[in-house]
Amino acid sequence: MKKSLLIGAAAVGVAAGAVAVRAGLRSGRRTETLPTPSPTEPVIEPGIDAQSFLDHLAEAVRIPTVVYAERERNDPADILAMHAFLRESYPLTHERCRVETVNDLSLLFTWEGTDADADPIVLMAHMDVVPVEPGTEDDWLVGAFEGKTVDGELWGRGTLDDKGPLIAVMEAVEHLASTGFTPERTVILAIGHDEEIGGAEGAANVAALLNERGVRPWFVIDEGGAVTDALPPLTTDPVALVKVAEKGYVDLELTATGEGGHSSFPPKQSTIGALAAAIQRLEAHPMPARIDVLRPFFAALAPRLDPRLRPILTNLGVTGPAVSRLLASKQETNVMMRTTTAVTMVSGGVKPNVLPQEASAVVNFRILPGDSIESVIEHVRNVVGDDIAVLPVGEMRGEPSRFSSTDSPAWKVLGTSIEETFPDAAVAPWILTGATDSRYYSDFAGDIYGFAPFTGEMDMLGAIHGTGERIRTSDAETAVSFFCRLIRNAQPDA
């Protein structure tokens, strides 16, 4: 799960409120009255052991499965310790499922269904976590790898991203197996070990193996969403954010070359100057914004929207330009509706009195669905001009995903499962600004979604990858129940 998803959701709300003040309220337009859903009781799977979930998650947090971009720093013993922990904690799951180790460290569980004609579902998670930023260790209320509960919250790196969902899935399968449940539709658990550094050795190989076997998932559920307590000023109701697409990724190196020489005899523009000018042009001319990508999100929230905002945010054919301009002016919301440009590395020169013959910069692009790596490269070359070389660099590279359906049987199963578990929440589709392991399934799977069954205020959910990552202990029962309901609702005869 990526922090920017939740920050962006909150920022959309703040910016949309400003749009209302500037545009909608002074128009005097009558607002449409829509029915607001009445609160109902959640559907909870009988017999869920919430304490088992909390105890097992705390134990999983204490296994420090930290991964670093420099793969030689990563200790496989930590991931193997997770394997042993899962075997010990979930014996029925290991008995009922075919369990395979892929590329030594990732896990693949296959719970065979009785209906061979029913396409399987894939539930994804990952065992690895990001490091705690050096120097911030003392900012945690409790140690990041202690797995302690304080004031109704279980703290620790990975509680949200992604050991919380992992343990909830495992608890759900173990519980269903203990009740004698046998799936008609095959259930596959794909558990990666290197998602936080791209998944190239984990999920990529798991997905390739399934594809080679001819497995065609009906749908895939990965990380990429959660339930916010509210999205003010859009709504004071809870909102279940569900990933339906995610951005792509490419790093481009810009290089300026020249003759170099002594600094006492400089040219009109040095290679560093040429590079700086190109960077300035690039930042001043970003890829176009597309407000239309937020249309499904606003439409899903329509019954819950503040009545003053509803006509503005559900009539983007008229209000779109004003909404787009305002959202583009805010860093947090600008990223949600365009391919972003971020200059992250600059190099050039070896001595103060020597003009470098070459200066270069690396620019990172997060690519909105509808754009592509090719269109980004074309845009950059047009903006920086012919004198600047533009080349893709690095192994981390991927096209943006397609949009998964919000009008399909798979979406209905997911939406129903969320509504049963979180009946007060509006279910809203969203674009993840980062990338997850589920991208490796895009060529052969059906709909691909992202959702984690945990609740929180925006600052709490925004602690992913940061200081103070934690979950509410009150979410334990519902988190496990959600995956039970999802598996049951996905069965052909459900």
Whichever domain contains 335, its CATH number is 3.30.70.360
Q: What is the dihedral of CA 297, 299, 303, 308, to 10 degrees?
A: 90
Domain identity same for 279 and 154: no
Nearest CA-CA partner of 124 in 462, 465, 364, 442: 442
Most confident of 211-215, 309-313, 455-459: 211-215
Respond yes or no: is residue 128 known to be catalytic.
Answer: yes
Local structure of 447: helix, strand or coil:
strand
E strand or H helix that includes residue 211:
helix 203-212
- Give the pLDDT score at 80: 98
Domain identity same for 263 and 211: no
For residue 233, cis peptide bond before it (omega within 30 degrees of 0): yes
Q: With 50 as the cut, is the pLDDT of residue 251 above it? A: yes
Domain identity same for 409 and 379: no
Q: Which of 339, 373, 396 is the last residue of a domain?
A: 396
Domain identity same for 329 and 438: no
Q: Which amino acid is at 53?
A: F
Domain identity same for 285 and 378: yes
Q: With 80 as the cut, is the pLDDT of residue 348 above it? A: yes
Domain identity same for 210 and 294: no
Domain membership of residue 18 (yes or no) is: no
- 47, 484 in Cβ contact below 8 A? no
Local structure of 314: helix, strand or coil:
coil
Nearest CA-CA partner of 113 in 222, 209, 204, 218: 218
Domain identity same for 461 and 328: no
Domain identity same for 209 and 287: no
Q: How far apart are the first and last CA of the chain?
A: 29
The fraction of the chain above a pLDDT of 90, given in percent, is 83
Phi and psi, residue 213, nearest 5°: -80, 0
**Exactly one of 128, 174, 222, 251 is catalytic; which is it?**
128
- Give the separation between CA 411 and CA 294, rounded to whole angstroms: 18
Confidence band of 493 (pLDDT split at 50, 70, 90): confident
Q: With 70 as the cut, is the pLDDT of residue 27 above it? A: no
Confidence band of 311 (pLDDT split at 50, 70, 90): very high
- Give the pLDDT score at 23: 47
Q: Report in angstroms the alpha-carbon separations of 374 from 341, 357, 381, 387.
A: 15, 28, 11, 19
Q: Which of 362, 380, 396 is the last residue of a domain?
A: 396
The tally of domains found in the chain comes to 2
- Give the pLDDT score at 38: 61
When mean pLDDT is compared across 6-15, 108-117, 347-356, 462-471, the lowest value belongs to 6-15
- What is the per-residue pLDDT across 48-78, written as a single tens digit (0 to 9) for each? 999 999 999 999 999 999 999 899 999 999 9
Give the Cβ contact number of residue 315 at 10 Å: 15
Confidence band of 352 (pLDDT split at 50, 70, 90): very high
Domain identity same for 383 and 449: no
Domain membership of residue 45 (yes or no) is: no
Domain membership of residue 261 (yes or no) is: yes
Q: With 70 as the cut, is the pLDDT of residue 289 above it? A: yes
Domain identity same for 61 and 108: yes
Q: With 70 as the cut, is the pLDDT of residue 11 above it? A: no
- Give the pLDDT score at 321: 93
- Give the separation between CA 246 and CA 320, rounded to whole angstroms: 22
Local structure of 345: helix, strand or coil:
strand
Domain membership of residue 323 (yes or no) is: yes
Residue of higher predicted confidence among 356 and 8: 356
- Give the pLDDT score at 65: 98
Predicted structure pTM score: 0.89
**Exactly one of 78, 161, 195, 447 is catalytic; which is it?**
195
- CATH number reported for the structural domain that contains residue 425 in this entry: 3.40.630.10
Q: Which residues fall within 8 angstroms of residue 296, CB to CB, at 6 or more apart?
A: 244, 406, 428, 429
Q: With 70 as the cut, is the pLDDT of residue 238 above it? A: yes
Q: With 60 as the cut, is the pLDDT of residue 446 above it? A: yes
Give me the domain span that covers residue 478: 50-231+401-489
- Give the pLDDT score at 430: 93
Q: With 90 as the cut, is the pLDDT of residue 28 above it? A: no
Q: Which of 346, 363, 396 is the last residue of a domain?
A: 396
Domain membership of residue 236 (yes or no) is: no
- What is the per-residue pLDDT across 119-129, written as a single tens digit (0 to 9) for each? 999 999 999 99
- Give the pLDDT score at 2: 55
Domain membership of residue 241 (yes or no) is: no
Task: Please give the distance of CA 31 from its chain centroid, rounded to a whole number.
Answer: 34
Q: With 90 as the cut, is the pLDDT of residue 20 above it? A: no
- Under DSSP, the state recorded for 261 is E
- Give the pLDDT score at 138: 94
Q: With 60 as the cut, is the pLDDT of residue 9 above it? A: no
Domain identity same for 255 and 379: yes
- 322, 255 in Cβ contact below 8 A? no
Domain membership of residue 480 (yes or no) is: yes
Q: How many CA atoms lie within 13 A of 464 on its CB side?
A: 26
Report the pLDDT averaged over residues 291-312.
93
Respond yes or no: is residue 195 known to be catalytic.
Answer: yes
Report the pLDDT averaged over residues 26-37.
50
- What is the per-residue pLDDT across 144-160, written as a single tens digit (0 to 9) for each? 999 999 999 999 999 99
Maximum alpha-carbon separation in the chain: 83
- Give the separation between CA 190 and CA 200, rounded to whole angstroms: 14
Domain identity same for 219 and 168: yes
Domain membership of residue 27 (yes or no) is: no
Mean pLDDT of the chain: 92
